Structure 1
Amino acid sequence: MCRRLSPASGRSPRRDAFSLRRLPRLFPEGPRWPCTGTCGRWSIRCTARPRLPARVPDGWQKRIELSLRLQWGVHRRHSWLACAYPLTRPHRGANGLAHTEWIMRAMSGLRLDPNTMLHATVSLAAFVRGLAANLEPEARAVQNTGMSDDEWMAMREAALNKLMPAHPTLAAVLRDQHLDLDLDTLFEFGLRRQLDALEALARTD
């Protein structure tokens, strides 16, 4: 869990502190990634450990799925991480690139050209991080309102119902009694679509 410490009142950061710009930048952390950072005069400390297994699963889709699930799990535990470092500036540390290597190795049998493989790999990271960017605002909304998503929607139901006649397709969808949507279901849905798209790309490339 991250801790924000008080500003250091003009003192320079400790010699062993990291700037947020030096955090692993392309993919969420490899195994045993301790990070210490400063943002302005604020310090953030946390430890994230998405361990890649020694035994590689059979099939490229299962390998990629495993990495993305590990990345999602890290973001779930450290909601600030999605906005902590640029997507397109890889960190030079080997541990920070562990997931990049894992995913590219999984794709190596798809016969993609290098540029396509790179774009596909970074797009997978962008999918996880783009979704994870909503974790902290959602947690803050629950904390600020004291209401879950369902409770908040129930409170606003009357106001939303007044808007539905102008949006008949949306209204028809929302009438379904089996709807179930949150960030985890969006991750599961998006994960499957990402893998489906990669399979289709491999067939046409």
Structure 2
Amino acid sequence: MNQEFSGSGDPAKSLALLWRHRQDEQRPTRGPKPALTVDQIVTAALEIADAEGLSAMSMRRVADELGVGAMTLYRYFPGKGELLDVMLDTVYGELPRRVVPGDWRARLDEVARENRELYLRHPWLLQVATSRPPLGPNVLAKYEWELTAVDGIGLCDIEMDATVALVNGYVHGAVRTAVEARQVIQRSGMTDKEWWLAHVPHLDQIGDLEKFPLSARVGTAVGNEFDAPYDTEHAFEYGLERVLDGVSVLVANRRAP
């Protein structure tokens, strides 16, 4: 995947676009009355990125989709960096940020699942490094909601931030694997079960497997269980439980007398 970086645009211009509130603020200050709005441009960019990936999304391509010249877009956005920031903030606004019953573990579990759903809807998010996040309203609302999941459970502020980052980092890696698994099916035209069944008849002919008894035993068990060498749903559920188990130990230690 080609990597992009959030926060790479002009800070003042990105913030002005991210925090727009009135229609007047979405209009360029020079030239004739505009035919577009910031929201229309962002919507077109998101449609391209969702359908074809972030590498297909350029200022010229967005302009073509909107039926205008590329220079028209530069009256609204200085460049792709600022547009990408607003795209990120916009999709983060899709998070329902549900309030779930239960303790911190249930809340963190919900944080993980909502982020996973968002990545699966917009897999191009995996192509964006967000160590310098766009400081828009939806980005900040997301962070606030995630911190609420671990507020008041005995962690210090640094630990709260690190715990949220741990869960989000796990989800990012797990979803990347799931998206890649989905893409290989699309590109090969073969399901994981079909791939597995095509290999099974030939495994007994590979004498070297006798040198790897654990691999043969465990790999066969996995293949029989999932009809595939790997199951992304099982892996996500198992991994998330282990991550939360680790946080449980930290919380218990902080509460211990």
Question: When the two structures are superposed, what TM-score results if normalisation uses the length of structure 1?
Answer: 0.75
Q: Secondary structure at the match of 1:175?
A: helix
Deviates more, 1:7-16 or 1:188-197: 7-16
Q: Who is 2:236 aligned against?
A: 187
Unaligned runs of 5+ in 2: 1-46, 62-68
The CA distance in 1 between the partners of 2:115 and 2:72, in whole Å, is 29
The CA distance in 2 between the partners of 1:118 and 1:167, in whole Å, is 42
Q: Deviations over 1:51-73 (max 9, x none)?
A: 113x4533111111112111111
Q: Deviations over 1:108-128 (max 9, x none)?
A: 222112222222111111101
CA 56–173 in structure 1, closer or farther in 2 if over 3 Å, else same = closer
Q: Deviations over 1:52-98 (max 9, x none)?
A: 13x45331111111121111111122222222233x22321121233
Contact 2:120 2:179 in 1 (8 A): no
CA 6–69 in structure 1, closer or farther in 2 if over 3 Å, else same = closer
1:54-65, aligned counterparts within 5 Å? 55-65=99-109
CA deviation after TM superposition for structure 1 residue 134, in Å: 2.3
Please tell me the root mean square deviation across aligned C-alpha atoms, in Å.
3.0
Q: Secondary structure at the match of 1:133?
A: helix
Is 1:196 aligned to residue 239 of structure 2? Answer: no
Is 1:151 aligned to residue 199 of structure 2? Answer: no
Unaligned runs of 5+ in 1: 36-47
The CA distance in 2 between the partners of 1:153 and 1:11, in whole Å, is 48
Q: Who is 1:170 aligned against?
A: 215
The CA distance in 1 between the partners of 2:220 and 2:174, in whole Å, is 25
The CA distance in 2 between the partners of 1:159 and 1:81, in whole Å, is 39
Structure richer in helix, relative to its length: 2
Counterpart residue type for residue 149 of structure 2: A
CA deviation after TM superposition for structure 1 residue 106, in Å: 1.8
Deviates more, 1:123-132 or 1:134-143: 134-143
Q: Percent same amino acid at aligned positions?
A: 24
Q: Who is 1:73 aligned against?
A: 117
Question: When the two structures are superposed, what TM-score results if normalisation uses the length of structure 2?
Answer: 0.61
Return the index of the structure with the highest Cα Rg: 2
Counterpart residue type for residue 126 of structure 2: A
